[in-house]
A and B are shown apart, each in its own frame.
Chain A
Amino acid sequence: MRVPGRLLNWLFSPESDHWLSILRIGFAFQLVLYCVSLWTDWNQLLASTGGAFVSRDLTEAIVSLESPLIPRLGWFVAVGKTIGLGEPMVVNFVWYCLFVAGILLAIGLFCRPIAGAAWLLHLAAVKSGNLATYGVDNFVTIGLFYLMLSPLPDRLALDFWWRHRKSRDRRWLGFFRRVLQVHLCLIYFFGGLTKVLGRGWWDGTNLWRALTRPPFDIISADVLVRFKCVFPIAGIGICLLEIGYPFFVWHRRVRRPWLAAILLMHIGIGVAMGMYLFASVMIVLNLAAFGPGILWHHRQPADDGGPFSGSTVCSPNN
C-alpha cells in the first residue's frame, strides 16, 4: 500500500465515540472547576477598574495589538452596554454562562452549540486576563477547540438519547481522535526535549526548585529533603517519559505502562504542587486520546458497523 494511502487510512480509521465522551465530560468538569476555583477572584481578575490585578482594558489592548480577531470580554461588555448592562454585570454573566455551559456539556444537552459557546467564552475570559494566565488555560483552550470541532454528540450525551441526534460517520471520530493524539505527542516531545536541554533536569535541581518555589511549595522543604536521592532519578525519568511519549505510546507492549506513568506524573504534579486544574486537564486529554483501547478495551457499538466502506454517509439525524 502506498504511504499516503496508509496515512489516510490511519488518519480516518473508524473509531467509536468513547474517547469523545471522555473529552466532553472531562472538559465539562474542567469548566465547572475553573469557574468554582475563580469565583471569589473573578472580578478582580477581569475588571477594567476598581481593584483589578491588571486592568482588563490594558490586557485587551495588548491582545488586540497581536490580532483584533482574538476573542475578549470587551466584545461582550460592548454588547451589554448597548442594552444597558454595566461591565460588572456582564463579567459576572460570563461566569454564570461558563458554569451553565459546563453543566450542559456534562449531561450532553445541546452539545455542539454549547461546546462552541464554552470555547468562545472561556477563550475570551482567558485572553482578557492574559497577563495572569498559565499553562492550564492553553490546554483548556486546546481541548475545547477540538471538542467544538469533533462530531458531537457521543453515545452518552443526552442529545443522543433524548433528541435522537447521532454522531456522523465514524471516520470523523477517528480523525479528531488522531488530531488529539498527534497534538499530545508533539506537546510531550517538545516539552521533554526542552527539559533535556536544561542542566537542572539531569541532577534533580529543577525538580527541587519546582517543588520549593512559591506558590508550588505545598510540601515542606524539610520533608522533601529526605527524598533528595530520588530527585535526579525522577528528573531524568520525567524527561524520558515526556520525550519518549510519541514513540512508546504507540508501541503495543509498553504503551499501557507508559500512559499509566504519564498519568501518575500528572497526579503527582497535582498533589505535590497544588496544580489540580493543570493535572486534571492533562489527565482528561490523555485519557481521551489514548485511554480507550490502551487502559481498557472498548467494544465498537453494534450499529456503528464494521470497517469503513468508502463514502461519507451521514446519519439521517444530522
Chain B
Amino acid sequence: MCRKNIYLAWFALHFFLITAISIRELFSLIADGLTIIPSHTDGAWSQAEKITSVIAGQSLAPSDPARKTLVGYMHAAGIEGAFGFFAPNVPESYKLVFEFRYPDGRVEEDLPDVQSHAAGLRLGSLLDRIGRSNSEQFRRVLIWMLTSGAWNRHPDAVSARAVFGTLKLPDLDQFERGLKPSYEFLYAYEFTARVTFPDSTEQ
C-alpha cells in the first residue's frame, strides 16, 4: 500500500508539473500577442502566466535548492518545456553566411557545414535559437563559435564576416504570383582574427 501511495504521489506531482508548464507557456504566448486572443486585457495574461510560474515553482530564487531539484527532475523526465511544435505559428527561418577574406583580397563564401540531414535539423534549431534571442551578447558568442568552426575549412583566411539573416518565404498567393524566397539582413559580425571578439553591425 505504501508503494502504491508513493507512485500515486509521483503521478500527481509529475502531471501537475506538466500541466502547469503547458498552461504557463500558453499564457505566455497569449500575453506576447502571438495568438488570435487579444493580448491587451490589462496585462491579465501576463498576470496569469506569473501565477502559473509560481505554481510550477519557477518563481523560486535560481539558487534555491528546491528549485534546482525541481528543474533537475523536469529535465530528467523531459518535461521542462511545453509541447507546442509549430504552434501557434510556424517561426521564421534563419540563415547564416560566412565571408572569408584572404590576404590577396579574395573573398570566399561558406555556410555552416553538416554531414547529415539529422545534424542539419539540429543546426536549424540552433539558428532559430540565435534568431529568437533578445540577447545581443548571446547571439554574438554563438555566431562567433560557428564562424570559428567554419574557419577551420579556410585556414589561410585573415578575416571573416558572418551575416545572419532571416529567410522570407512567400505565402501561397505570393508564390503563385512568382515571388521567390528572399534573404533579409539582420546582423553582421566582423572577425579580424579567430581569437578576437567580434564587433557587430545591426540593422
Contacts and interface: CB of A to CB of B under 8 A. Distances in A.
Given A137-B78, A179-B11, A214-B93, 20 more contacts: A41-B114, A41-B122, A54-B126, A63-B75, A67-B67, A67-B72, A71-B76, A131-B125, A132-B122, A134-B122, A135-B83, A138-B83, A139-B78, A175-B11, A191-B87, A199-B36, A205-B171, A206-B89, A208-B171, A214-B124
B167 A44 contact: no
A256 interface: no
B82 to A, nearest CB: 6
B11 A44 contact: no
A129 B118 CA distance: 13
A277 B121 CA distance: 11
Interface stretch (B142-150, B184-192, B195-203): B142-150
B84 A191 contact: yes
Contact of A54 (B15, B76, B146, B167): B146
Given A44-B149, A65-B62, A190 B82 contact: yes
Interface stretch (B22-30, B47-55, B100-108, B157-165): B22-30
29 contacts: A11-B11, A37-B116, A37-B117, A37-B118, A40-B115, A45-B122, A50-B152, A52-B145, A58-B141, A58-B145, A63-B75, A67-B69, A69-B71, A133-B122, A134-B122, A135-B85, A141-B76, A145-B78, A175-B7, A182-B15, A186-B15, A190-B84, A191-B87, A194-B26, A194-B82, A197-B29, A197-B87, A199-B88, A212-B169
Nearest to B176: A225
A209 interface: yes
Contacts of A177: none
Contact of A209 (B4, B81, B90): B90
Contacts, number: 208
A292 interface: no
Contacts of A234: none
A208 B3 CA distance: 50
A197 to B, nearest CB: 4
Contacts of A12: 4
B115 A198 contact: no
B113 to A, nearest CB: 8
A53 B149 contact: yes
Interface string A115-141: 000000001000101011111011111
Contacts of A52: 145, 149
Contact of B86 (A40, A51, A70, A210): A210
Contacts of A142: 77-79
B119 A190 contact: no
Interface string B8-21: 10010011001100
A81 interface: no
